[in-house]
Amino acid sequence: MKPIRKVVIPVAGLGTRVLPATKSIPKELLPVVDRPLIDYVLAEARDAGIEHVILITGRGKGAIEDYFDHAFELEATLRAKSKLDILSALEAGIPMAGTLSSTRQQAPLGLGHAVWCARELVGDEPFAVSLPDEIVAHRPGFLKQMVDAYEKVGGNLVAVEEVPNEDTCKYGVIAPKGRDGNLIEMTGMVEKPQPADAPSNFRIIGRYILQPEIFTLLKTQEKGAGGEIQLTDSMNKLNEQQTFNACICAGGIYDCGSKLGWLQANVALGLKDPDLGSAFGAFLKSQV
Ligand code: G1P
């Protein structure tokens, strides 16, 4: 079984659900407590033993690559002012040279198309996909839990959580067949079904482990829900050919691509922050 060494992180989206905040900054750089969203996703990938990050970027998203590079003026100023703790925290977040690559999705054709853009960089090996809108606050990181499951069952995996029926139309939803602990075998998947048509209320969270055969399916994938090339549609076809499991994630998921989810992430993670948590908690109590 080949190990999961690479993660694909699509960052080309326009962030329309969180406008105007994202008019001139990428949504992936919106801060949650003291660091940008994308930092959480990279930390989770590191926890899972990922060696190489592949960003699928787009126009106006250059600040994301800058975030992962040295900022010499800033670093020199921090050094001159002996702010060495801040400096070493900044340096710790920079991936080792050569371990982060990026390619541009030249048109917003959908998540399936974004993942397909990574085919040359991924090559012929299984890989992870993490959507940076969603913070999954778990210890160990949820991607690590998926990699552990992959090492037992192989094939392909998606992360899922249960949502109220009325929310199925916002997500990809799985059709469960059987359950073994927190793993669900599936008969299929459907993107953004209306509640009446949804095969379950297990919605797909933005964490995936996929075999490289997905690229062949994505190449010819027709447009699906919302007129976009959907990853879910190609995964549904891959499910007919290979092992596919859904890995249940219980709680700790914040959809920061929505205003409410972003606020919830700030509150939940702010309360857990070792330096700010207790003062922040006291402030929240005084407000409600
Ligand atoms: C995408 C996927 C969907 C998944 C969701 C998770 O949808 O297509 O299957 O449930 O991410 O965040 P999007 O948010 O791009 O509409």
Q: How far apart are CA 182 and CA 248, in angstroms?
A: 5
Q: Is 233 in the pocket of ligand 1 (CB under 6 A)?
A: no
Instruction: Please return the burial class of 91, using the count of CB atoms within 10 Å of its CB with bins 0-12, 13-18 and 19+.
Output: exposed
203 lines ligand 1 (CB under 6 A): yes
Among 8, 16, 131, which is best to mutate for testing ligand 1, by the most ligand atoms less than 8 A from CB?
131
Q: Inform me whether the pLDDT recorded for 16 exceeds 90.
A: no
CA distances from 79 to 69, 72, 75, 84, 222 (A): 17, 10, 6, 6, 53
Ligand 1 in reach of 113 Cβ (< 6 A): no
Q: Is the CB–ligand 1 distance for residue 15 below 6 Å?
A: no
Q: Is the CB of 270 under 6 A from ligand 1?
A: no
Residue 40: closest CA among 127, 139, 188, 123: 139
Contact (CB, 8 A) for 137 and 161: no
- Taking only the tens place, the pLDDT of each residue in 146-169 is 999 999 999 999 999 999 999 999
Tell me the pairing of strands 156-162 and 244-248. Answer: parallel
Give all domains of the chain, ordered by start, each with its CATH number.
6-287 (3.90.550.10)
pLDDT at 139: 79
pLDDT at residue 131, as a whole number: 97
206 lines ligand 1 (CB under 6 A): yes
Q: Are 200 and 173 in contact (CB under 8 A)?
A: yes
d(CA 149, CA 246): 10
Share of the chain above pLDDT 90, in %: 91
Assess whether the C-beta atom of 228 lies below 6 angstroms from ligand 1: no
Nearest CA to ligand 1 atom 11: 206
Atom 7 in ligand 1: residue holding the nearest Cα:
171
- Alpha-carbon dihedral 269, 273, 278, 284, rounded to 10 degrees: -20
Residue 65 has pLDDT above 90, yes or no: yes
- Per-residue pLDDT at 190: 96
Tokens linked to 168: 């199925």
Q: Of ligand 1's atoms, which has the minimum distance to the CA of residue 232?
A: 9
* Ligand 1 centre distance from Cα of residue 68 (Å): 25
Mean pLDDT of 191-200: 96
For the CA of 110, the nearest atom of ligand 1: 15
pLDDT at 266: 97
- Taking alpha carbons only, the member of 44, 213, 196 closest to residue 122 is 213
User: Is 38 in contact with 67 (CB distance < 8 Å)?
Assistant: yes
Question: Using one digit for the tens of pLDDT, what is the confidence trace for 72-122?
Answer: 999 999 999 999 999 999 998 899 999 999 999 999 999 999 999 999 999
How far apart, in whole angstroms, are the C-alpha atoms of residue 223 and residue 93?
Answer: 37
Q: CB of 134 closer than 6 A to ligand 1?
A: yes
